[in-house]
Amino acid sequence: MSQVLHTMIRVGNLERSIEFYTKVMGMKLLRQSENPQYKYSLAFVGFDEESKGAAVIELTYNWGTEKYDMGNAFGHIAIGEKDIYSRCEAIAAAGGKVTRAPGPVAGGHTEIAFVEDPDGYKIELIQMRSAEKGLG
């Protein structure tokens, strides 16, 4: 059976991003590599390994590039949480940026929140009891 393995995002400072995703978001650094010939470094972070069915995030640092144009096509990364309210409190306490406080989605019942990583990528937190139902 096919599965989503990872989503790749480009970051301006690999160590800062690893720190955010591990210390603020609670993920594990799964593996890291460098390619000196093509001048890039990769770090894979997630809650578990792809071999166990988990999707992970590939952080790509292109040496010497500190900022990217975010564009308008990418939306967000979604993470299911047991309790988005306490999770947002923990993220804020760890220095993370909560950009939308937890609560019901506009016009619906699904409880969501948004946080932002150091490069400006949006991360949606969805209360797990409603994560599989879709927004509404």
Residues serving a catalytic function are: 124
Backbone angles phi, psi at 23, to 5 degrees: -85, -35
Which pair of structure tokens corresponds to residue 1? 């059976």
* CA separation for the pair 134, 20 (Å, rounded): 27
Q: What is the DSSP letter of 17?
A: H
Nearest to 77 by CA among 51, 49, 116, 20: 116
Nearest to 47 by CA among 57, 38, 32, 39: 57
DSSP 3-state assignment of 112? Answer: strand
